[in-house]
Structure 1
């Protein structure tokens, strides 16, 4: 019957598993059992999701019980949840019972069939539910490759009912239940995989459309501000590389199944990588970005870094840039602060890069405030958190 487990005294009083061997066993009806198992095997092949209810009713019928069910352990909550209940306890379908304070928990601890008489004497939650259980026979439910994941149990209408023959039948049925659970889980995983593939296809189609739209906009706007074809090629190439870096992060995040999105710190570091790392200081709390925010912020920081390299702090060996951000319940506040560069004067007119930054920030619901201080450009950006999230 497997290893014995030391039980608390109150539980020991209702724990009568030894009675299974002492009681007389009726002659087994092997033909009936064989036909029943064949029926279950057919059900498992054709309709695996229907096997467990059929199996529970079969256990109740063969063992002449008044109720039966399956309890599956939910590891995160350390509770058993009742499934496929049949008989007088069918109304408790979906109910939960505690792992460490239930007959099912004792059965898993013993890892063998367990018989209890009137367990409501030891478990308050059974008594509080006004359930009378003259006898309950439980057997472990195992899934191949895993430890016991629950129990199959049957309840008798009177004491002295169950014997070793019933325990044998229940153990065989529990083996079928374990196989059925494995098939159901496999089918669910396959369905989820197909749904993920379909989602991936839609997502990639959406991203390709967005990428073409952004690229088309950059080409048209860059061509209007460029003085020569070389200037157009250089400007457009830099912007496309920033966009490609951002898109690579988005693709990696989606591909590894993560729901956290792209990290803001990583995005900024990636976009600023072509410039001298020693000139940058990046600091702020962890924030996850969705695809749209990732692409837009990549362009914003690329333009800020490009302007700093042409006219600001990054154009001098002594220059540096500090990127900081803080978040409250509704917004994130970003700061781009240049220092150590040439004397800064406000421009007579905004160049394309500055207009692109402002337009991009406003497009995702934010606002931007530049300050051309003599000691270096300061840019304050406020964005709603809702515009950043994946």
Structure 2
């Protein structure tokens, strides 16, 4: 029976290995085993680690074996590929700074411990008794570069169980394990990249279809109101530029799973940059790629009208754009001042139609107020529609 409690120095007995007798090595058996593992690694790398752990247990005559992989972000080990008496603990997490595996990586050498449950309370709480455990470090790169990827370990059924021959075998298997882990990770990276590329292709196809639909609508409506080809070109050029600038904001980095969100403030600055005497103010709101295109068209049209007929057509004219959030709605106020007296037009041109249909498409509303020195437009949009 193990003592109730010991210090760490009392349970590390690695020095005893040099005093114990070792069985003669069976190199032929090892060669055949590694050859079979190499064949498995080429066909199915993920199946190699469980088989390798089982081979470690059989080669050492241990009662249990496993691999502890270090997850650096949370500073914990995760038990993987367990065989034997401890197989039920597959997936268990153990702390880096309070475990036999942590000691092994710290020493960067094989470690032999007796009854680690007398020091580590989490082992004792699980009701596990470990007469001896032999651990060797795993590395994915050079030891000085990666700080250790985990450990390969075997549990003996009685004190005095392991010898230097077991250390040699386990070290060889640990080196092979490291190669298998690198292959698994490389395969996962390739698969992730392929999935990322496929997703990006689908997204780009979808966005191109949307842009073509928007372009088709703009061409049809603009053609109805333009009297000359020069007027058609001038109107369409500005609208295409607004769409192009908006789409430059939609980025999808390969390192992430989602399109990087663009804020309303950044969109306003991009679309309104060509115009002087325009100020913007409001809490930033994340926009989806559909909303980016829509909002770009809306505020491009408002700015164009202000420059042609409104406040920006005079040197003293000003435009202020402010927005806030109320009850899951975005409320935007476009306010022109210092411009000529404007009246509500008798007929709606393409720009006004485009603004209203775009806002309605996002389940929003727009209300105009025609003032003595300018125009005020109040736009209300559900936040949920802006996320798309």
Q: Same fold (TM over 0.5)?
A: yes
Q: Which residue of structure 2 aligns with residue 18 of structure 1?
A: 15
Among 36, 48, 52, the residue aligned to 1:51 = 48
1:85-107 CA distance string (max 9 Å, x none): 11111111111111111111111
**Contact 2:297/2:355 (8 A) holds in 1:** yes
**Contact 1:253/1:262 (8 A) holds in 2:** no
- Cα distance, 1:256–1:177 mapped onto 2, change above 3 Å: closer
* Residues 259-270 of structure 1: pairs in structure 2 closer than 5 A: 259-270=259-270
Q: Which residue of structure 2 aligns with residue 140 of structure 1?
A: 137
**Contact 2:272/2:300 (8 A) holds in 1:** yes
Q: Which residue of structure 2 aligns with residue 80 of structure 1?
A: 77
- Cα distance, 1:91–1:255 mapped onto 2, change above 3 Å: closer
Query: 1:375 offset after TM fit, Å?
Result: 4.0
**Contact 2:196/2:254 (8 A) holds in 1:** no
- The root-mean-square deviation of aligned C-alpha atoms, in Å, is 2.1
- Cα distance, 1:267–1:228 mapped onto 2, change above 3 Å: same
- Cα distance, 1:121–1:262 mapped onto 2, change above 3 Å: same
Among 58, 61, 66, the residue aligned to 1:64 = 61
Q: Which residue of structure 2 aligns with residue 210 of structure 1?
A: 210
Q: Which residue of structure 2 aligns with residue 340 of structure 1?
A: 338
Query: 1:47 offset after TM fit, Å?
Result: 1.6
Q: Which residue of structure 2 aligns with residue 107 of structure 1?
A: 104
Q: Distance in 1 between matches of 2:232 and 2:265?
A: 29
Among 304, 309, 325, the residue aligned to 1:306 = 304
**Contact 2:54/2:83 (8 A) holds in 1:** yes
Q: Distance in 2 between matches of 1:178 and 1:121?
A: 30
What SS does the corresponding residue of 1:292 show, helix, strand or coil?
helix
1:355-374 CA distance string (max 9 Å, x none): 21121011012222322333
Q: Which residue of structure 2 aligns with residue 122 of structure 1?
A: 119
Q: Does 1:170 align with 2:154?
A: no
**Contact 2:253/2:260 (8 A) holds in 1:** no
* Residues 133-282 of structure 1: pairs in structure 2 closer than 5 A: 133-144=130-141, 146-250=146-250, 252-253=251-252, 257=256, 259-276=259-276, 279-282=277-280
1:73-130 CA distance string (max 9 Å, x none): 1122211111111111111111111111111111111111111111111111111111
Structure 1 range deviating more: 297-306 or 316-325: 316-325
What SS does the corresponding residue of 1:188 show, helix, strand or coil?
helix
- Cα distance, 1:21–1:47 mapped onto 2, change above 3 Å: same
| Structure 2 unaligned regions, length at least 5 | none
Q: Distance in 2 between matches of 1:127 and 1:328?
A: 55
Q: Which residue of structure 1 aligns with residue 329 of structure 2?
A: 331
Query: 1:329 offset after TM fit, Å?
Result: 7.0
- Cα distance, 1:73–1:373 mapped onto 2, change above 3 Å: farther
Query: 1:38 offset after TM fit, Å?
Result: 1.9
Query: 1:68 offset after TM fit, Å?
Result: 0.7
Q: Distance in 2 between matches of 1:143 and 1:171?
A: 14
* Residues 281-292 of structure 1: pairs in structure 2 closer than 5 A: 281-292=279-290
Q: Which residue of structure 1 aligns with residue 351 of structure 2?
A: 353
- Cα distance, 1:357–1:199 mapped onto 2, change above 3 Å: same
Q: Distance in 2 between matches of 1:375 and 1:151?
A: 76
TM-score by length of 1: 0.91
Query: 1:217 offset after TM fit, Å?
Result: 0.5
What SS does the corresponding residue of 1:217 show, helix, strand or coil?
helix
What SS does the corresponding residue of 1:18 show, helix, strand or coil?
helix
**Number of aligned residue pairs:** 380
Q: Distance in 2 between matches of 1:382 and 1:137?
A: 67
**Contact 1:222/1:235 (8 A) holds in 2:** yes
Q: Distance in 2 between matches of 1:256 and 1:53?
A: 30
Q: Distance in 2 between matches of 1:281 and 1:256?
A: 35
- Cα distance, 1:26–1:241 mapped onto 2, change above 3 Å: same
Q: Which residue of structure 1 aligns with residue 387 of structure 2?
A: 389
1:177-220 CA distance string (max 9 Å, x none): 11101101111111111112222222222222111111111111
